[in-house]
C-alpha cells in the first residue's frame, strides 16, 4: 500500500523503531471500572444479582478514582505518558431524567484540569457501557427516544467541560454493547434476541451521530470519533467454502455494518430489513478509534446460531492470554493489529488505537505483547497509515465487567481490598517506550524479540499476507 495521507512519517535506524513527533502515548480506562461506588447505573444493579459476575465479585470501590484519580494521573505522567483516555459516568452527571448534578460535573472538571496540569491530553468517552437507572426504566437503547436523551446529555457535558477537551469519543464499542447485552446475554439486561440486538445497535449509531453534531455545534475545534472494537476474522480451514462463508459473515456483522454506516449513513441488514439512510450518520467521525485485542479463527458450526453459525478457536500451539470464565481471553496475535489498521484505513480518516492489551496477572506476556504489537503499528505507519496515537488497556487493574476482578489488564497491579498498587515490569517498559518515542534494539533484545523486530522486521515476514 502506498502512502495515502500527508502525515508525519516514522523513522527507523539499526537501533530504534521511532514513532512520529507528537505521537500520543497513553492508557485507557472507563468510569465504572475505576471510579467506585457507581450505584446509580445498571451495572451496579447487575453486580448485586447472584451468578452474574465471575466469582461473585462486585466493583465496590473499584480503583477509587472518584476520590483519588489524581494519584494515578501522577503515576501515568511519571511513566512518560502524554495522554489519557477516560470516560464520563452518565448516571453521575444526570442522576435523574433531566436533572444534572453540578457537583459531578465539577469533579470531572477537576479531573480534566489535573490531567492538563500533568501534561496529559484528555481523550473523553461519553458512553462506555453504563446507563443511569432512570434510562433503564425507559427501555435504555431499545427505546428510540434514547437518542434525544443522549443528545441532551452530550450538550450539557460539552457546555460544562468542552474548553478542556479536544478529543472526544462518542460511544465505546457499540457492536460489543449490543451483542453482549442483547444477543449473548452476558451484560445487562441479559437478553438473547437478534432483532432487539440489532435494533439497539441502530439506535447506538443514531446516538453517535447526534452526539457528533452536537459536539461540533458547541465546539468547532473538537475532534470526534467513534470507538470500534475491530477483530480480525480468518477461516479455520482456508479451503473450506463453509468456513470462508461464515468468516465473511462474522466480519460483516461484527465490523463492517458499523464502520460502513458511520461512513455513508446507510443502515444495512441486519440494522434494517431494507437498507435505509440516516443522513446525520454519514461521515460522522473525524477519526476512527480502534480497539484491538485478538483475531478469531472461524469454523462453520450449525449449532452456533447466535454467532452466525461460526465457532471461533485458536491455532494449535498459539500463545494464549490468561483465562476468564469462558476460557482464554485472547490469542496473542500482533499481526492482527496491522491488518485491522489496514482495514479501517480504507475509511480515509486518521486512526487512533484507543485500546490494546491483554489479561496477564503475572506479567510474563505483556512486555513482549507491547513490543510486538507496537512494531505492527510502526509497520502500518511506515506504509503511510495516519495513526496518531496508542492507548494501552489499561493503566491499572480494574473491574473487568462480567469477569469481575478475575482478569488483570493493568500496567499497574492493584489490590482492590487495600487499594495498594505496584508498577509491573511492563509498566516500566511502556514508560521507556513513551520516553524514547519508539522501540529500541536494547528493549527488543531484553525481551527476546530483537531478531523479530530488527533483523527480520514484520513487513518482511508477512509481505505476502495481504
Dihedral over Cα of 221, 226, 227, 231: its sign: negative
The confidence band for 9, taking pLDDT boundaries of 50, 70 and 90, is: low
The confidence band for 240, taking pLDDT boundaries of 50, 70 and 90, is: very high
Query: With contact defined as beta carbons under 8 Å apart, do 358 and 369 qualify?
Result: yes
The whole-angstrom separation of Cα 263 and Cα 286 is 11
Position 11 pLDDT exceeds 80: no
Residue whose C-alpha is closest to residue 48's, from 38, 397, 63: 38
pTM given for the model: 0.95
Average pLDDT over all residues of the chain: 95
Query: With contact defined as beta carbons under 8 Å apart, do 45 and 133 qualify?
Result: yes
Q: Quick one: cell of 414?
A: 492493584
Query: With contact defined as beta carbons under 8 Å apart, do 159 and 105 qualify?
Result: no
Alpha helices in 183-268 (DSSP H): 194-218, 241-251, 257-264
Contacts of 317 (CB under 8 A, 6+ apart): none
Q: Quick one: cell of 122?
A: 484528555
pLDDT digits (tens, 9 = 90+) for 412-430: 999 999 999 999 999 999 9
pLDDT digits (tens, 9 = 90+) for 75-102: 999 999 999 999 999 999 999 999 999 9
Percent pLDDT > 90 in the chain is: 93
pLDDT digits (tens, 9 = 90+) for 355-392: 999 999 999 999 999 999 999 999 999 999 999 999 99
Position 462 pLDDT exceeds 80: no
Residue tagged 536494547 (cell numbers): 442
Contacts of 315 (CB under 8 A, 6+ apart): 297, 331
pLDDT number for residue 460: 46
First vs last C-alpha separation in the chain: 10
Overall size of the chain counted in residues: 466
The whole-angstrom separation of Cα 204 and Cα 210 is 10
Q: Quick one: cell of 381?
A: 505507519
The whole-angstrom separation of Cα 126 and Cα 169 is 6
pLDDT number for residue 10: 73
Position 128 pLDDT exceeds 50: yes
The confidence band for 8, taking pLDDT boundaries of 50, 70 and 90, is: low
pLDDT digits (tens, 9 = 90+) for 192-209: 999 999 999 999 999 999
The whole-angstrom separation of Cα 155 and Cα 168 is 13
Q: Could you tell me which CATH class the domain 11-228+355-461 is placed in?
A: alpha beta
Contacts of 44 (CB under 8 A, 6+ apart): 32, 38, 59
pLDDT number for residue 456: 72
Q: What is the DSSP letter of 228?
A: E
Amino acid at each position: 500500500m502506498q502512502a495515502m495521507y500527508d502525515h508525519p512519517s516514522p523513522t527507523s535506524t539499526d537501533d530504534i523503531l521511532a514513532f512520529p513527533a507528537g505521537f500520543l502515548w497513553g492508557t485507557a480506562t472507563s468510569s465504572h471500572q475505576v471510579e467506585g461506588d457507581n450505584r446509580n447505573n445498571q451495572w451496579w444493579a447487575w453486580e448485586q444479582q447472584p451468578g452474574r459476575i465471575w466469582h461473585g465479585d462486585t466493583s465496590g470501590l473499584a480503583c477509587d478514582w472518584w476520590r483519588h484519580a489524581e494519584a494515578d494521573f501522577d503515576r501515568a505522567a511519571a511513566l512518560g505518558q502524554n495522554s489519557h483516555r477516560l470516560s464520563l459516568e452518565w448516571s453521575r452527571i444526570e442522576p435523574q431524567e433531566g436533572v444534572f448534578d453540578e457537583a459531578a460535573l465539577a469533579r470531572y472538571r477537576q479531573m480534566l484540569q489535573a490531567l492538563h496540569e500533568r501534561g496529559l491530553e484528555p481523550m473523553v468517552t461519553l458512553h462506555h457501557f453504563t446507563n443511569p437507572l432512570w434510562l433503564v426504566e425507559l427501555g435504555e437503547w431499545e427505546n428510540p427516544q434514547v437518542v434525544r436523551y443522549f443528545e441532551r446529555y452530550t450538550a450539557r457535558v460539552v457546555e460544562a467541560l468542552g474548553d478542556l477537551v479536544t478529543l472526544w469519543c462518542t460511544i465505546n464499542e457499540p457492536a460489543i454493547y449490543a451483542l453482549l447485552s442483547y444477543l449473548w446475554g452476558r451484560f445487562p439486561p441479559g437478553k438473547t434476541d437478534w432483532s432487539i440486538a440489532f435494533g439497539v445497535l441502530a439506535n447506538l449509531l443514531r446516538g453517535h451521530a447526534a452526539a457528533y453534531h452536537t459536539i461540533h455545534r458547541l465546539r468547532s475545534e473538537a475532534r470526534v470519533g467513534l470507538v470500534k472494537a475491530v477483530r480480525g476474522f480468518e477461516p479455520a480451514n482456508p479451503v473450506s467454502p463453509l468456513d470462508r462463508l461464515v468468516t465473511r459473515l462474522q466480519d460483516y456483522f461484527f465490523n463492517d455494518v458499523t464502520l460502513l454506516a458511520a461512513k455513508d449513513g446507510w443502515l444495512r441488514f441486519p440494522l434494517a430489513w431494507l437498507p435505509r439512510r440516516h443522513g446525520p450518520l454519514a461521515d460522522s467521525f473525524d477519526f476512527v478509534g480502534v480497539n484491538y485485542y485478538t483475531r478469531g479463527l472461524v469454523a462453520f458450526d450449525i449449532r452456533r446460531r447466535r454467532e452466525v453459525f461460526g465457532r471461533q478457536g485458536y491455532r494449535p500451539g498459539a500463545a494464549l492470554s490468561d483465562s476468564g470464565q469462558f476460557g482464554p481471553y485472547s490469542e496473542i496475535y500482533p499481526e492482527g493489529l496491522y491488518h485491522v489498521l489496514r482495514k479501517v484505513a480504507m475509511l480515509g480518516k486518521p486512526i487512533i488505537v484507543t485500546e490494546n492489551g491483554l489479561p496477564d496477572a503475572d506479567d510474563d506476556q505483556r512486555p513482549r505483547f507491547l513490543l510486538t504489537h507496537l512494531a505492527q503499528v510502526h509497520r502500518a505507519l511506515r506504509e503511510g497509515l495516519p495513526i496518531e496515537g496508542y492507548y494501552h488497556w489499561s493503566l491499572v487493574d480494574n473491574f473487568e465487567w462480567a469477569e469481575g476482578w478475575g482478569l488483570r489488564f493493568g500496567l499497574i497491579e492493584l489490590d482492590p481490598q487495600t487499594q495498594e498498587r505496584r508498577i509491573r515490569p511492563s509498566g516500566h517498559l511502556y514508560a521507556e517506550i513513551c520516553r524514547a518515542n519508539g522501540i529500541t534494539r536494547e528493549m527488543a533484545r531484553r525481551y527476546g524479540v530483537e531478531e523479530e523486530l530488527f533483523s527480520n522486521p514484520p513487513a518482511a515476514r508477512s509481505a505476502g499476507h495481504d
